[in-house]
Amino acid sequence: MKYTTLPSTNTRVSKICLGSMTWGNQNTELEGHAQLDYAFDQGVNFIDTAELYPVPATAETSGRTSKIIGTWIKKSGKRDKVVIASKIAGSGDYTAHIRTTGFRGNSIKGAIDVELERLQTDYIDLYQLHWPERDTNRFGVRDYKFDSKWEDNFNEILHSLDREIQAGRIRNVGISNENSWGTMRYLEESKKDNLPRVSTIQNAYSMLSRTFETDLAEVSLRENVGLLAYSPMAFGVLSGKYITGKAGESTRLKLFPRFSRYSGEQSTEAAKRYLKIAEANDLSLAQMSLAFVNQQPFVTSNIIGATNLEQLKENIASIDLTLSDDVLAQINEVHQVIPNPAI
């Protein structure tokens, strides 16, 4: 395994982070524990969850994923050997079953109260805002529309997070599904009032969705805010199983066809071209896709997910693969022809 640190902290994390959003829905507690055991044995010490998980989000299942991690922590006794990241859900129609107040008032404190119980721990290593409160271009929306109803609360949020750090309940803070303006606002507010500094940004990034490179990559590198890349395999599209017709009925896109973000005509064509590159270079498309993300200079950790151990083994093994300049050039040629077919 390869390791790095969360930017501006002393927290050492594996370059591969174990994602968990299927646990409690597509995966049982037993399967979640098996994934945790295997990943830990391979040197993975970084685990990502959220109060919203598993996905799709429902009132019935909300929090199940963190509970599965909590029972593993209790059973294994490995709390001091792992770095746990979690997230507070932003406001939205599909999170009303969690809360309707966004990040305002005592929402952050209340969310941490419950999440600590689920995780069976007394602190969270990295606490993230799952997405902005303001309505901005995220989750598949290309065009920005101004949100005139939102009232600026960056400073209030950072003060709330600071209180939790001072209480020892969280150690570092991050953002997710954020853009350049929001990232810079958090950084400026932290300087102004000596508030917690955002260490990471968890956004989608893959060969089918490289919009992070347009401006956030520069923010990341110049301001030392590391990317925690999620959906690096584009909901499994970049495994090649949907292209080749090998996807089983229990796969994510078969079970939840509304998650079609990476399944459009252009995305499918791009994935086919990437598959040809992988095959021509004796690589699996999955490992090539993950290695591409692993090698980006702005990536702190690559969040991988799997619904079975065979997938997990292949995904974690991508850390041992370094793509040649020639393979990277071929990938970029496809990107020039079909840039960011999914966002």
Tokens of 217: 């990559």
Tokens of 118: 């689920």
Write the CB contacts of 92 (distance below 8 Å, at least 6 apart in sequence): 131
**Contact of 254 with 335, CB cutoff 8 Å:** no
Task: Show the tokens assigned to 222.
Answer: 């110049």
Please confirm, yes or no, whether 274 is among the known catalytic residues: no
Q: Alpha-carbon distance 236 to 87, whole Å?
A: 23
Collect contacts of 150-155 with beta carbons under 8 A, ≥24 apart.
153/103, 153/104, 154/182, 154/185, 154/186, 154/189, 155/189, 155/192, 155/193, 155/195
Which candidate, 235, 213, 227, 226, places its Cα nearest to that of 289? 235
Q: Residue 128 forms beta bridges with which residues?
A: 87, 174
- Check if the beta carbon of residue 167 is closer than 8 Å to that of residue 109: no
In order, the DSSP letters of 143-180 are S----SS----HHHHHHHHHHHHHTTSEEEEEEES--H
DSSP string, 171-226: EEEEEES--HHHHHHHHHHHHHHTPPPEEEEEEE-BTTB-GGGTTHHHHHHHHT-E
Residue among 3, 38, 53, 205 flagged as catalytic: 53
The residues annotated with a catalytic role in the active site are 53
